[in-house]
Amino acid sequence: SIDRFAGKTIIVTGAGSGIGRATAARIAREGGRVIATDVAAERLDEVRAELADFTVETVVGDVSQAETIERIMQAAGDRIDGLANVAGIMDAFLPPSEVDDATWDRVLTVNLTAPMRLTRAVLPVMIAAGAGSIVNVASEAALRGSAAGAAYTSSKHGIAGFTKSVAFFHGPQGIRANAVAPGAVATNIEAPMRSEYAAGRIGPILQVVIPPVAQPEQLAAALTWLLSDDSANVNGALLPSDGGWSAV
């Protein structure tokens, strides 16, 4: 069996569902100690039950709140080998002309500010150890303007930039930071097309160019590769896992 994460502690946000859940499961089955965190308590209960034979500790909380980050850090302890910032929310496909402040603020806070704060929290531990791997979940919306609304697209371009910033500044200290850009994945994320513009004009175009919907386990394979030492020479990369959408 593969034991890529034996002896390692990895924090996974959004671990209650979809890509985060599949990533937490794979790390646990490969010998890692997982700090699984999500705002949805009942989803984390399911994860704990599903992975009862493995080392999984759960932290319930909104990752955009400072006190949640404090509790994640307490649970992790003084050794943190990896961080997967997976928790994220969609917008309503609102174009720049229609985006409201509440949507903009919430999407930027959850998708960009929270990963920055958690990264900032784990970096001192990783720097002291001279090693650590951080993986962020970007999106096709980090590569193009047509995959989501203005807020989500901006948040995912932002996380791609933040990923490179971590790689640049902290690579010399032994830290790696990479991002995965998923295409469409079968999860619980909501993608309501509240914008008439998107439904009427973008929707039909997307239906033509988007490859088949992927499974969360296919994304977990990319995330765990970037978290593991197999990707030791990869830093600052944005890896599409999208069935070729990014080649269109």
Q: Tokens in use for 239?
A: 């890896």
Q: Does 14 bind ligand NAD (CB under 6 A)?
A: yes
Q: How many of the chain's residues bind ligand NAD (CB under 6 A)?
A: 26
What is the rounded CA–CA span in Å between residue 82 and residue 151?
28
Instruction: Single out the residue of 89, 193, 221, 237 in contact with ligand NAD (rule: CB under 6 A).
Output: 89
Q: Using CB under 6 A, which residues numbered 165 to 184 contact ligand NAD?
A: 182, 184
Considering only residues 59 to 78 of the shown chain, the ones binding ligand NAD according to CB under 6 A are 62-64
Among 11, 12, 20, 122, interactor with ligand NAD by CB under 6 A: 20
43 near ligand NAD (CB under 6 A) = yes
Measured from the CB of residue 90, what is the shortest distance to ligand NAD in angstroms?
7
Nearest distance, CB of residue 79 and ligand NAD, angstroms: 23
CB nearer ligand NAD, residue 109 or residue 173: 109
Residues 195/99, Cβ–Cβ less than 8 Å: no
Strands of the 9-13 sheet, one edge to the other: 56-60, 33-38, 9-13, 82-85, 132-137, 175-182, 238-241
Q: Is 39 in the site for ligand NAD (CB under 6 A)?
A: yes
| Least distance between ligand NAD and beta carbon 67 (Å) | 12
As a whole number of Å, the CA-based R_g of the chain is 17
Do the beta carbons of residue 33 and residue 103 sit within 8 Å? Answer: no
Considering the complex, state which of residue 31 and residue 211 has its C-beta at the smaller distance from ligand NAD.
211
The residues that are catalytic are 152, 156
CB atoms within 10 A of CB 104: 19
Binding region for ligand NAD (CB under 6 A): 14, 16-20, 38-40, 43, 62-64, 86-89, 110, 137, 139, 182, 184-185, 187-189
